Amino acid sequence: MFKKFKGESIHPEFLQENVTKEKLLFSYEKYNRELFLTHAKELREYLVSGSSAKVAKLIED
């Protein structure tokens, strides 16, 4: 969802077959928490009103 909104991921995603303890630990250690909080705030502000319609539009595009 955020990738469609801003063109980048808000956090790493792992599909079931790609989840390993090494990958999870690496992501946890290298994760930029400040950037996540900034992105989360931007997304909340975008979705403050009419969020279901906005999400549907993003998904359709």
* Segment 33-51, tens digit of pLDDT: 898 888 888 888 877 776 7
Say yes or no to pLDDT of 17 above 80: yes
Dist. CA 27–CA 58, nearest whole Å = 27
Query: How does pLDDT run across 18-36, given as a tens digit for each residue?
Result: 899 999 999 889 888 898 8
Say yes or no to pLDDT of 55 above 60: yes
Query: Domain range for residue 24?
Result: 2-10+17-60
DSSP 10-59: SS----GGG--HHHHHHHHHH--HHHHHHHHHHHHHHTSSSHHHHHHHHH
Name the domain count of the chain: 1
Report the pLDDT value the prediction gives residue 29, as an integer from 0 to 100: 92
Q: Place 1 in a pLDDT band, splitting at 50, 70 and 90.
A: low
